Amino acid sequence: MTPGLLGGVSLVAALILSVLGLVLSSLAFVLRDGRYLEAAKRLSALSLLAAVLSFGALEWAILTDDFSVSYVANHSSANNPLWVKLVTPWAALEGSILLWAMLQTAYTWLVSLRAGHSLDIWRAPVALGTLFAVQVFFFAVMVFVAHPFDAVPNPPPDGRGTNPLLQNHWMMAVHPVLMYLGFVGLSVPFAYAVAAMVARRYQSWIFETRWWTLVAWGFLTAAIFTGKWWSYEILGWGGYWAWDPVENASIIPWLLATAFLHTAQVQERKGLFKGWNFAFITLAFAATVFGTFLTRSGVIQSVHAFASGPVGAWFLLFLLAVMAGGLGLLARVSSEIREAGEVRWKSREGALLAGALFFGTFAFVVVLGTLWPLVVEIASGAKVSVGAPFFNQVSIPLGIFMLLLMGVGPVLPWRNSSAQVLRNLTAMLIALGAGTLLGFVLGLSLGVSLAIGLFAYNLTAIWLMVAQGVGERARALGISPAQALMELATSHKRRFGSHIVHFGVALAALTIAFSQTYRFTEQKTLQVGETWQTRGVEVRLLSIGAREESNRFAAVAPIEVRSTGREGWGSDGRYETRLNFYPQMGSPLATPVVKYSLYNDYYFVLMQFDQENGQWATLKIIVTPMVWWLWVAGLIIVLGTVYILWPSGARVSSRQLSPTAGD
pLDDT band for 462, please (50, 70, 90 cuts): very high
Residue 528 exposure: Cα atoms within 13 Å on the Cβ side: 13
Rounded average pLDDT over 27-48: 92
Res 317 pLDDT > 70: yes
Cα angle, residue 156 at apex, residues 151 and 158 outer, rounded to 5°: 115
> Which CA distances in Å does 66 have to 58, 161, 350?
10, 13, 59
pLDDT at 537: 92
Question: Which has the minimum average pLDDT: 19-33, 104-118, 212-226, 440-454?
Answer: 104-118
pLDDT at 387: 75
pLDDT at 658: 41
pLDDT band for 649, please (50, 70, 90 cuts): low
Distance (Å, rounded) from C-alpha 434 to C-alpha 440? 10
Q: Which of 583, 602, 580, 584 is nearest to 593 (CA)?
A: 602
Task: Judge whether 373 and 386 are in contact, CB under 8 Å.
Answer: yes
Rounded average pLDDT over 2-28: 95
pLDDT at 598: 85
pLDDT at 662: 42
pLDDT tens digits for range 353-384: 888 998 999 999 999 888 888 778 777 777 77
Distance (Å, rounded) from C-alpha 131 to C-alpha 535? 56
In one-letter notation, the amino acid at residue 40 is A
pLDDT at 36: 92
Res 302 pLDDT > 60: no
pLDDT at 654: 42
pLDDT at 639: 96
Q: Which of 275, 129, 310, 263 is nearest to 197 (CA)?
A: 275
Sign of CA dihedral 429, 435, 440, 446: negative
pLDDT tens digits for range 601-632: 999 999 999 988 889 999 999 999 999 999 99
pLDDT band for 6, please (50, 70, 90 cuts): very high
Percent of the chain's residues with pLDDT above 90: 55
Res 310 pLDDT > 60: yes
Rounded average pLDDT over 272-293: 92
pLDDT at 429: 94
pLDDT tens digits for range 76-97: 989 888 988 999 998 888 999 9
The chain-wide mean pLDDT, for the chain, equals: 88
Distance (Å, rounded) from C-alpha 644 to C-alpha 658? 18
Percent of the chain's residues with pLDDT above 70: 94
Task: Judge whether 590 and 605 are in contact, CB under 8 Å.
Answer: yes
Res 488 pLDDT > 70: yes
pLDDT at 499: 93
Res 416 pLDDT > 70: no
Rounded average pLDDT over 312-335: 92
pLDDT at 300: 66
User: What count of other Cβ atoms lies within 10 Å of the Cβ of residue 539?
Assistant: 23
pLDDT at 303: 52
pLDDT tens digits for range 540-559: 999 999 988 877 889 999 99
Residues in the chain: 663
pLDDT at 507: 96
Residue 150 per-residue DSSP state: P
pLDDT band for 636, please (50, 70, 90 cuts): very high
pLDDT band for 455, please (50, 70, 90 cuts): very high
pLDDT band for 435, please (50, 70, 90 cuts): very high
pLDDT at 655: 41
pLDDT at 500: 95
Q: Which string of b and e fits 251-281 if b means at least 16 CB within 10 Å?
A: bbbbbbbbbbbbbbbbbbbbbbbbbbbbbbb
pLDDT at 381: 73
Q: Which of 255, 263, 193, 188 is nearest to 220 (CA)?
A: 255
> Which CA distances in Å does 350 have to 163, 262, 347, 357, 359?
48, 11, 5, 11, 14
Task: Judge whether 329 and 194 are in contact, CB under 8 Å.
Answer: yes
pLDDT at 657: 41
Distance (Å, rounded) from C-alpha 346 to C-alpha 422? 11
3-state secondary structure 334-402: HHHCCCCCCCCCCCHHHHHHHHHHHHHHHHHHHHHHHHHHHHHHHHHCCCCCCCHHHHHHHHHHHHHHH
> Which value, to the nearest 10 degrees, does the dihedral of the CA atoms of residues 72, 73, 74, 79 take?
80
